[in-house]
Structure 1
C-alpha cells in the first residue's frame, strides 16, 4: 500500500498543476486521497474486529473539520467525536447518526449538554461539576426523551509522551477526573453507585509522541476501574469503554507505523478481558486516519539566498503548517521538491530553507533541508498533512484559507478531483474581519 500511496500522490500532484487547481491563481491547495482514506478506515475496522464485541469507531472531528470528509468517513462506517457545538453541527451536516456520535470537551455549556442529551448522543462528563449538571438536565428532561450513553472521563495519570502539549494523562492534565489524586477514586466509585444510568467510562492518554505502551497503560487503568464499578454494582453497569484515539503517526516516511493492528494486538495481549464480549469498545482516532492521505501543494514564488543559503519562498507557511513552524522539532514535515509542472525534481540535493509567506522570520516549514534546488515557479509538496494542516487554518496576515480537493486515480492514471472546500474569497475574509460594521469612533 505504501507504493500505491506514493504513486497516487505523484499523479495527483502533477494533475493538480495541469488542471489549474494549483498555480499562480491558487498558489496553495490541500489534496486528499479518497482511496487512501478508505484504506485507513478498513485497516482500523479490521484491527479491532472481534467476534461478539461491539466496536464503534468515531473520528475526531478536530483533525479534519470538513463536512465532505466527515461524510466519506461516515460512508466508511465511522462516527464522529465532537468537542464543540460547531463540530457537532459539522457531524450532523455530514449525516453522522446520533448513535455514532460522542461529545467530549472539558468546557461543555448547559446548552451543549442539553442539546446532546436531547439528541441521544453519547456524552462523556469531564468532571464532578459537569456530572452534577447532567443530573439536573436529566431530571428536567421531558418523559420519553432519548437516553443516550453517559460516561465519565478519567485521567489515569500514567504519564506523558515526548510532546507535553499532546499528553493528556499527566499528573496535572486539565482533562478528566485525576484518579490518583486523594479521594478521587472513592468519589468515582460513589458517583457510579449513585447513578445506575452512568454506563460508560472514558480515557485518553494523548496523541502524537505517546508510545503504544503508555496508551495501553491508560486503557488498562480504565478497564480495571470498570471491573471494580461493575463488581460493586453486582451487574454490568459499565457496558462500554471509550478508549480515545491518539495513535502516533510516523512523519519520516510513507510507512504506517505503528499501525492500528499493532495497537489492537497489544491491547489484546495485555488486557484480554477488554475483548471477551462483556464490554463495547469506542475509539476516537483522528490524525492516524488522515495524515498519510493528505498533501499541501504550494507554489514557489521566489528563490533567493541569505548568508550563503538558498531560500525558496512559498505560499505554504504558518497559516497551514502552524505546529511545524512554531514547534519544528516535535512536528517535522517531509517536503518534496516539484518542478513547474508538478513532477518531482531531480538533481543533486542542495541544503536550503523552505519558507512560507507569513511576515515573521521563523515562518519556515523546512530549515537546512537537502533538496533539489528550488526555483521560482516550482512547487513544493508538504507530505503527511491530511490531518489538521488544512482544516485548522491560522489566519496570520489575513491569509485566506486554501481550497481543498479530494482525488481519485482512475484506471490508466487519470485523476479526478472533487472539491471539498472552496478557497476563502476576499469578500468572505472581509466579512469575517468585521467589514460590514461601522468604524469605531473616539466618541459615540
Structure 2
C-alpha cells in the first residue's frame, strides 16, 4: 500500500447516540433502511496502535489482521495502510486481502482445508502458508517450486485444553486443527518433517479466542516455543526462524472497558516463557476480534412492540442474520443492547424486562432475552454494542434477507462536534439477492427427459 492511513491522534470518540442521531438525520438509516452497521475509523487505528505499543519491546514481529473478523475491503485497506499484515483462511479471504492492497509477503494463509489449486496459487504469489497437517506438508513439497519465496510453517495443536466456549477452543484433545502434539509419536514425526524439508521454517499455534483465559493461550504458545528448540537441537542447526502465535485475545462484552488488553496478553506470554519475546524467532500475530469488536455497533429499528405471556417483545430488524452467534449461543455471545428513541437519543422512560427479537422466521431469533431496558415502542431504535467483528460483517442469508449497509465514521477534523460518514458496504439489493440465488439458471430444472445433459 502506498497510501498513508489517517492518524487517530486528536480524533475524539463520538458517542454512539450522537452517531446514530447524525446517521438518522443523514438518511443512512430510517424506516426504509431499518438496519445498518457502523465502524469507528479512529477507534480501529487506536486499537492497532495499542497492539503495536504492547509488542514494542519485541525485536521482530509481524502483526496480521484476521480477515474473517471483518471481511470488508475498505476496512482491510485501512489496516494495510496502517502497516498491518493479513491472515486469511479461504480463497475468498485471500482475494479480499489482495484487493485491499496487502503485499503477498505480508499475508498468511491458515485454512485447515486447502485444495491443491489454492496451495499452488499461494505458493506462486509468495504468500506465507501454515500447513495444517503432515499430509499437507507433503502436498506443499510436491507443489513448491525451487524459487518459491513463501515462508512455510506447520500448525500444531498443543492440546492444552479449552476455554468456556467449546466452539472457539482450538487446542483441545480432539480439535480439528493442527498436528496433535501430545499424541504418541507426534513430536518425532514433526521433527522428521522438518528434517526432510529444509524450507519448513515456522511453527504455528493458536489456542482459541473468546472464552479462553490468557494463561491458557500463553501455555499453548510456550509449547510451540519449546518444540522449536527441540527441532533445532535434533537437527543440529537453527531451522525454526519464526513462530506464528495466532491471536485470540478475548473481548469484554459486559461494558465499555477494554479488558484484557494486548499489553496484558504480552505480560502473560512473558510469564509463561520469558525467552519467547527475545527476538530469536520472528513472531507473527493474528488478532481480529480484539481490534474491531469494540469499534463497531449495529443499529436496528423497532418495527413493532407487543406483549406475549406478560413480557414485552420488541420486534426489530436485527436478528440471527447479523448476530448469528448471539442468537444461536446467547449465553456465550451475549451483546449489550441499548434503547434509543426515534431521533437516536437514549431513551429515559421507565425500564421493564423485555425481549429484543429479530426478523427471521424461527422462534429462537432473539438477540436479548428478558433484558431490562427502557420500554421500546414502534419507531424506536436498538443498538447492539461491541459488534464490529463477526456480526454484521458476516451476515447470514437465512430468509434471503439483504445484507445491511456498513458505514465508517469519525469526528470531523474541525473539532466542531460534527461526524463524517463513509460507506464501507452498500446494502444488498433485492435484485442482487435474486441473481445470487440462481436467476441465470432459472429454467435449469425444467428440461424434458429427452434433453441432452449439459
> Conserved in 2, the CA contact under 8 Å of 1:6 and 1:254?
no
Partner of 1:355: 357
- Distance of 1:190 and 1:312 partners within structure 2: 60
Alignment partner of 1:127 out of 133, 140, 146: 133
Alignment partner of 2:262 out of 260, 263, 270: 260
Q: Map 1:292-307 to 2 at 5 A.
A: 292-307=294-309
Are 2:432 and 1:428 equivalent residues in the alignment?
yes
Partner of 1:28: 35
Shift of 1:442: 7.3
Shift of 1:272: 1.3
- Distance of 1:281 and 1:236 partners within structure 2: 16
Partner of 1:220: 222
Q: 1:385-433 deviations in whole A, cap 9, x for unaligned?
A: 0001011111111100000000011212111110100000111100011
> Conserved in 1, the CA contact under 8 Å of 2:356 and 2:366?
yes
> Conserved in 1, the CA contact under 8 Å of 2:51 and 2:262?
yes
Q: 1:330-375 deviations in whole A, cap 9, x for unaligned?
A: 0001001000011111122111111101111111111111000011
Shift of 1:77: 1.4
> Conserved in 2, the CA contact under 8 Å of 1:11 and 1:413?
no
> Conserved in 2, the CA contact under 8 Å of 1:29 and 1:296?
yes
Partner of 2:93: 87
Shift of 1:128: 1.3
CA RMSD, Structure 1 to Structure 2 (Å): 1.4
Q: 1:199-222 deviations in whole A, cap 9, x for unaligned?
A: 100000011101001000000100
> Conserved in 2, the CA contact under 8 Å of 1:126 and 1:175?
yes
> Conserved in 2, the CA contact under 8 Å of 1:178 and 1:184?
yes
> SS at the partner of 1:151?
strand
Structure 2: 5+ residue stretches without partners: 1-7, 450-454
Partner of 2:62: 56
> SS at the partner of 2:176?
coil
Partner of 2:45: 38
Q: 1:24-48 deviations in whole A, cap 9, x for unaligned?
A: 1210000000010001000000111
- Distance of 2:46 and 2:73 partners within structure 1: 19
> Conserved in 1, the CA contact under 8 Å of 2:14 and 2:411?
no
Partner of 2:193: 191
- Distance of 1:279 and 1:79 partners within structure 2: 18
TM-score, structure 2 normalization: 0.94
- Distance of 2:291 and 2:177 partners within structure 1: 23
Partner of 2:5: none
- Distance of 2:171 and 2:406 partners within structure 1: 34
- Distance of 1:231 and 1:182 partners within structure 2: 20
- Distance of 2:68 and 2:167 partners within structure 1: 16
Stretches of 4+ moved more than 3 A in 1? 4-8
Partner of 1:104: 110
> Conserved in 2, the CA contact under 8 Å of 1:54 and 1:280?
yes
- Distance of 1:184 and 1:236 partners within structure 2: 21
Are 2:365 and 1:386 equivalent residues in the alignment?
no
- Distance of 1:28 and 1:335 partners within structure 2: 14
- Distance of 2:44 and 2:282 partners within structure 1: 25
- Distance of 2:70 and 2:12 partners within structure 1: 20
TM-score, structure 1 normalization: 0.96
- Distance of 2:150 and 2:361 partners within structure 1: 48
Partner of 1:14: 21
> Conserved in 2, the CA contact under 8 Å of 1:9 and 1:33?
no
Q: Map 1:158-197 to 2 at 5 A.
A: 158-197=160-199
- Distance of 1:357 and 1:153 partners within structure 2: 40
Q: 1:197-251 deviations in whole A, cap 9, x for unaligned?
A: 1110000001110100100000010000001111222332111100001111100
- Distance of 1:310 and 1:267 partners within structure 2: 47
Partner of 2:397: 395
Shift of 1:276: 1.4
Shift of 1:7: 4.0
- Distance of 2:394 and 2:139 partners within structure 1: 31
